[in-house]
Chain A
Amino acid sequence: MERIDAYPTHEYEGFKLRPGKPFPFGATFVPGGVNFSIYSSHASTCKLVLFDKGQPQPKVEIPFPEEFKIGDVFSMVVFGLEYENIEYGYRLDGPFDPQQGHRFDQTKILLDPYAKAISGRDIWGKPPNWDNIFAHRSLLVYDDFDWDKDRPLEIPMEDMVIYEMHVRSFTRHPSSGVKFPGTFAGIRQKIPYLKELGVNCIELMPIYEFDEFENSRTSPVTGETLMNYWGYSTVGFFAPKSGLAATGKMGMQVDEMKTLVKELHRNGIEVFLDVVFNHTAEGNENGPYISFKGIDNKTYYMLTPEGYYFNFSGTGNTLNCNNPVVRNIVLDCLRYWAAEYHIDGFRFDLASILGRDPLGYPLSNPPLLESLAFDPILAKCKLIAEAWDAGGLYQVGSFPAYGRWAEWNGKFRDGIRNFLRGEPGKVGDVAQRIQGSPDLYASRGPTASINFITCHDGFTLYDLVAYNDKHNEANGEGNQDGSNDNNSWNCGWEGPSTDPAVNALRLRQMKNAAAMLLVSQGVPMILMGDEITRTQKGNNNTYCQDNELNWLDWDLVNSQAELLRFFQNLIRFRLAHPVLRNRWHLINQDRIGSGYPDISWHGTQAWNPDWSSSSRVLAFMLDGKHARGGTLEDNSIYVGMNMHWDRLWFELPRLPEGKNWHVLANTGAPAPEDIWETGCEPRLDQQDGISLGGRSVVVLVSK
């Protein structure tokens, strides 16, 4: 039977209309037409502005009749639109009174905050028409993707190995050999590489539509155009960035990205998104009108009592996340990505901002974080906080978690880096980090800790062992940008070196870092390219560099095969041994009567670790019978870490009768004896001890 609401009741300049439904917000296909719905608490009137695709002027502006408004929501069905050829926006009127927080300007056409695809930056880096009266245009999108049997993978958190990457950086380099470099399709072509590496999750740096030309400028050093390359500045929260899709020029970025997710899932790889809800691309009072600023400035942004923008994000404005209306759009957004894109988890940029009240004070029970933690659609999604913000809030270990949230563990990064570079007296801290930071996450378990030594912010792993200081001149900010606390050590020479001894030490240090990361309890995260010595030439903040400072050079896969193999084998070893992936904290006691504590500590002498302030040596043993709290039986594992420059003898803890130590890895040994394949580890000749080279790590397994 035909539906009554498939027929229009109103008409405006030849366009057939009827009152729309307030829910859902955004543009939704209904029989015969499209339902447009938008809300504003302070607008007096609203017009729907329709463009034929790419045209400079609108084809029509349809005012929402009075009777089409319920509460603060304008909604309307427009019949007979050809969805592929329509771009739409809104023109709202209301007070312009900045002191009261209102900035309505009816000369502006505004992007739908719920736009599911956005045109205007269709092809990455193509200079836009700056005279365009509507730069970022909302598109209509069918949510009809054919997922077959796919759904989010729900890999247990303790089993994850995360690989953080930038979509464009991963395959943009000419050496990638993919057909469409720098795109979602490019990643899909490289899935075999990811599988061989062994990671089971990729975490994508921002993919929500952003404007790579935001604040673009010419580098005074290189003459290149500096861009908003990383994309930590959102234009539209519901739209994948067109310029990251090879089919973006056809408006098919939605299908391309969903196809990538489906194919990754088919290969056992989850997809996390790095989401930026703390601010938008609209900047402060001098920034452009894109969407929120002209729709309901006072609701969406945190404003000072004088009506200026709070700047807890360090980028001009701060989204008012604990306003109930804003909270809802964040929730709608994440639900959309989880349900429509089958996204497996989210990493929240500067997440501490999400716990501030509308005046900026930290809340003890932030409603947004609580809503996300208990949401039914997000129930199996991993939620990861960057637990600090640019306004001075640092919540590593104390982020409001509701039993759900994990954190980027900045203290793991700092602690391991200091130990790695040979700082004395760090072993106590390192012992905590290796156990999954029970000092920070006592009640939350090790899976609350995302362990990383490097991430997109800061040095790459190679640069961590090749530079003492940042070298950010290419960013054009006089080397003032980027962190100064790198805790790095250049191994004796700043930058590239021809000295074989320096290079050998660097390679060993990278292996040491990989080993420490991958034998720690918690969830390891690897930065794209660290497994093949990707360098940013000492630049620790490449947010604006669309060039080889960011692009992954795939020739390194061959030239750095030794390090790659080391990573691959270590990841496989981790995934083969549940004793490395406990769900609950170790208690340093024998709780099942195996004769060994779940974790025991050692030094150059077995059972006698050196916790002193001059110590650079630590070893530990995980008892296999205690795997997963004693519910699984695994091999025992011993890890000896000698961050002293001298070769030292490490006495080994004795194994039960019939068991022997075997060598999985020894970073002090030349390749190929630096690492063995899981299951093929050779028996250690002498069972009571091992001579460990200076600045070396050994991983042994009992068999």
Chain B
Amino acid sequence: MEVNKSLIQDVNVVEITGDLDGSTAPNVQAEIIPLVTPEAKLILDLSKVGYMSSSGLRMLLVTYRMITGKSGKVILVGLSEEIQDTMSMTGFLDFFTYLPTLDDALKAIV
């Protein structure tokens, strides 16, 4: 599990590599929490996430609630078909804006 954070203009981009499950989700959450500031703009790049468990999905929704609670925005990019299906069937996808690529997200989040 690897978390790469970068700042592109005023947008925080967090790229996650590896599986997102009960053992890794708390660490990712800890990395994201400092980025949750008022009106924060956050892009989560999940194109290198292989498997996402229930804990991983819950971590995403917690992030969404934290960010929107501070009037911020969050966009997901690079969802694999399998993750997108799982998120759709379990309702998590309903909450998110999700786009194919980082470029798309950077244009959309402004």
Chain A residues 108 to 162 lying within 8 A of chain B, measured CB to CB, are 142, 144-146
The verdict on A84 contacting B54 (CB below 8 Å), with A146-B61, A247-B86, A252-B86 known, is yes
Q: List the B side residues contacting A263 at CB < 8 Å.
A: 91
| Closest B residue to A246 using CB positions | B89
B95 (CB) vs chain A CBs: closest residue: A146
* Cβ of B49 to closest chain A Cβ, rounded Å: 14
**A259 sits at the interface (CB 8 A):** yes
A300 to chain B, nearest CB (A): 31
How distant is B107 from chain A, measured CB to nearest CB, in Å?
A: 28
Whether B54 pairs with A255 at a CB distance below 8 angstroms is: yes
A259 touches B89 (CB 8 A): yes
Known: A146-B61, A179-B85. A255 touches B55 (CB 8 A): no
Q: Any chain B CB within 8 A of the CB of A597?
A: no
- The answer, yes or no, to whether A83 is at the interface (CB within 8 Å) is yes
Given A84-B53, A142-B58, A250-B54, A256:B89 Cβ within 8 A: yes
Contact A247 B55 (CB under 8 A): no
Check if A616 is an interface residue, CB within 8 A of chain B.
Answer: no
Question: A142-B58, A144-B58, A146-B61 known; A252 and B90 CB under 8 Å?
Answer: yes
* Cβ-Cβ contact count across A and B, 8 Å cutoff: 57
Q: Whole-angstrom distance from the CB of A186 to the nearest CB of chain B? A: 10
Enumerate chain A residues within 8 angstroms of B58, measured Cβ to Cβ.
142, 144
Chain A minimum-CB-distance residue to B56? A84
B36 to chain A minimum Cβ distance, whole angstroms, is 18
Instruction: Annotate A660-696 by CB proximity to B: 1 below 8 A, 0 otherwise.
Output: 0000000000000000000000000000000000000
Tell me if A2 is interfacial: C-beta within 8 Å of chain B: no
Name the B residues within 8 Å of A144 (CB-CB). 58
Would B22 and A83 count as touching, CB distance under 8 A? yes
Query: CB within 8 Å of B: which of A222-267?
Result: 245-247, 250-252, 255-256, 258-259, 262-263
Chain A residues with a Cβ closer than 8 Å to the other chain, count: 26
Identify the closest chain A residue to B21 (Cβ).
A84
Rounded to whole Å, the gap between the CB of B88 and the closest CB of chain A is 8
Contacts of B92 in A (CB 8 A): 255
A84:B89 contact, CB within 8 angstroms:
no
CB contacts (< 8 Å) of A255 on chain B: these are: 54, 57, 89-92
CB-based contact B23/A259 at 8 Å: no
Query: Given known contacts A84-B21, A84-B22, is B90 in contact with A256 (CB within 8 Å)?
Result: yes
Kindly list chain A residues whose C-beta atoms are within 8 Å of the C-beta of B88.
185
Within 8 Å by CB of A262, from B65, B85, B91, lies: B91
B87 to chain A, nearest CB (A): 10
Minimal Cβ-Cβ distance residue in A for B26: A82
Instruction: Point out which of B21, B55, B89, B90 has the most chain A C-beta atoms below 10 A from its C-beta.
Output: B89
By a CB distance below 8 angstroms, the chain B residues around A145 are 91
Q: B53 touching A250 by the CB < 8 A rule? A: yes
Check B91 against A258 for contact (C-beta < 8 Å).
yes
B50-96 residues at the A interface, CB under 8 angstroms? 53-55, 57-58, 61, 65, 85-86, 88-92, 94-95
Residues of B within 8 A of A246 (CB): 85, 89
Please give me the residue from chain B that is nearest to A144 by CB atom: B58
Which residues of chain A (254-298) have a CB below 8 Å from chain B? Answer: 255-256, 258-259, 262-263
Return chain A residues, CB-CB under 8 Å to B95: 146
Q: How many Å lie between the Cα of A256 and that of B94 in the bound state? A: 13
Which B residues touch A83, using CB under 8 A?
22, 55
Q: Are B90 and A259 in contact (CB under 8 A)?
A: yes
| Docked complex Cα distance between A183 and B88 (Å) | 13
* Residue of A whose beta carbon sits closest to that of B86: A247
B residues in contact with A146, CB < 8 Å? 61, 65, 91, 95
Tell me which residues across on chain B come within 8 A of A247, comparing CB atoms.
86, 89-90
Find out whether the CB atom of B55 lies under 8 angstroms from the CB atom of A84.
yes
User: CA separation between A142 and B58, bound complex, in Å?
Assistant: 10
Q: Which residue of A lies closest to B92 (CB)?
A: A255
A85 close to chain B: CB less than 8 A: yes
Contact B89 A82 (CB under 8 A): no
A180 touches B89 (CB 8 A): yes
User: Closest residue of chain A to B90, judged by CB?
Assistant: A255
Smallest CB separation, A239 vs chain B (Å): 15
CA–CA, A255 and B61, complex, Å: 13
**In the complex, what distance in Å separates the CA atom of A146 from the CA atom of B65?**
10
A73 to B87, CA, bound (A): 38
What separation, in Å, do the CA atoms of A263 and B92 have in the docked complex?
Answer: 12
Where the two chains meet, the residues of A that have a C-beta atom closer than 8 Å to any C-beta of B are: 82-85, 142, 144-146, 179-180, 183-185, 188, 245-247, 250-252, 255-256, 258-259, 262-263
- Pick 9 A–B contacts, CB within 8 A, sort by A: A82-B22, A144-B58, A146-B61, A180-B89, A184-B89, A185-B89, A250-B54, A251-B54, A252-B89
